[in-house]
């Protein structure tokens, strides 16, 4: 039994939880922008790409070799406009923000974020258990 090899795998979990929490925060910001523009004529509701799609993509970032170079944001996730199929209702002015839908999405974000922090906490506790001296 090679037990010392085990800790390598759970460490990756922290990275996964971190990126998922980051994804949830960006989604929350997108939902917030939709709600702020709930009464703007012609505004199209937006949503970010699903986490699985964001995770699958290999992101090539440009190296900043000089201080003046413009960097590419690591958190820049692809956004998509909600069309007729995705949005629950579209008003006469062409605004596709559905308040119910946005609040439902916000509740979902809250739930997954809570899950992320709980996972991080329980794994942290697990590590502490292995580090602490008994007695």
Find tokens 């996964």 and name the residue.
16
User: Where on the phi/psi map is residue 94: left (φ > 0), alpha (ψ -120 to 50), or beta?
Assistant: left
Min dist. Cβ of residue 21 to other proteins (A): 7
Min dist. Cβ of residue 37 to other proteins (A): 5
Calculate the CA 30 to chain-centre distance.
10
Q: Which of 10, 53, 57, 75 binds other proteins (CB under 8 A)?
A: 75
Stretch that binds other proteins, among 2-10, 49-57, 83-91, 111-119 (CB under 8 A): 111-119
Q: Which of 16, 19, 37, 51 binds other proteins (CB under 8 A)?
A: 37
The yes or no reply on residue 33 touching other proteins (CB under 8 A) is yes
Number of residues that bind other proteins (CB under 8 A): 36
Helix (H, G, I), strand (E, B) or coil at 20: helix
Q: Which of 61, 73, 84, 92 binds other proteins (CB under 8 A)?
A: 73
* Torsions phi, psi for 130 (to 5 deg): -75, -25
* Distance separating alpha carbons of residues 35 and 93, to the nearest angstrom: 16
């Amino acid at each position: 039994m090679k037990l010392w090899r085990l800790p390598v795998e759970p460490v990756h979990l922290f990275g996964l939880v971190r990126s998922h929490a980051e994804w949830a925060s960006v989604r929350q910001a997108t939902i917030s922008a939709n709600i702020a523009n709930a009464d703007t004529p012609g505004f199209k509701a937006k949503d970010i790409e699903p986490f699985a799609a964001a995770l699958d993509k290999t992101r090539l970032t440009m190296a900043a070799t000089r201080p003046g170079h413009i960097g590419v944001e690591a958190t820049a996730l692809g956004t998509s406009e909600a069309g007729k199929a995705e949005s629950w209702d579209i008003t006469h002015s062409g605004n596709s923000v559905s308040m119910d839908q946005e609040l439902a999405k916000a509740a979902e974000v809250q739930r997954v974020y809570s899950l992320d922090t709980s996972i991080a906490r329980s794994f942290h506790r697990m590590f502490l258990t292995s580090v602490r001296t008994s007695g």
